[in-house]
Amino acid sequence: MAPLRTIMTRDLVTASKDATLKEVAALMADNDIGNVLFMDGERLAGILTDRDIVVRAVAFGRDPGSLAVDHASADPFTLDADTEIAEAAAQMGEKQIRRLPVTEGGKVVGIVSLSDLSNRTGGDADQQALEGISTPTL
């Protein structure tokens, strides 16, 4: 199989650490995406997904004007762009993640989602990841 670089999305949407939940949600809507990255210089500091907004903020009545970064996953798991797709799918399943930032030389250069695995690999890789994500942790 091919490396992640062949299926990753290269157009990354980032937000500053002072962006609010409402602003990040608007970025997601405007760009038709389900995640926004928070950067500290060139280092990935966090990722916020549409699911995070619902589960970590809305479900608890958080103010849409509160800082989005406070609800983000800090220091997200990443893989190198040369990682084989099958290995990435296995890691996504094991770690139960739906979106995987992709790095090159320590710098974020792309992102791979479950839909990327499905749409760009013929569906084999996403099945492995989805099985791991769907398995409840004890």
Query: What CATH number does the domain containing 97 carry?
Result: 3.10.580.10
Q: Is the pLDDT assigned to residue 12 strictly greater than 70?
A: yes
Q: Which domain holds residue 123?
A: 4-134
pLDDT band at 17 (very low <50, low <70, confident <90, very high): very high
Query: Rounded distance, CA 7 to CA 38, Å?
Result: 22
Number of other CB atoms surrounding residue 107 within 10 Å: 11
User: What is the pTM assigned to this prediction?
Assistant: 0.84
pLDDT at 138: 52
Domains of the chain: total: 1
Amino acid letter, residue 137: T
Output 37 or 121, whichever has higher pLDDT: 37
What letter would DSSP give residue 53?
I
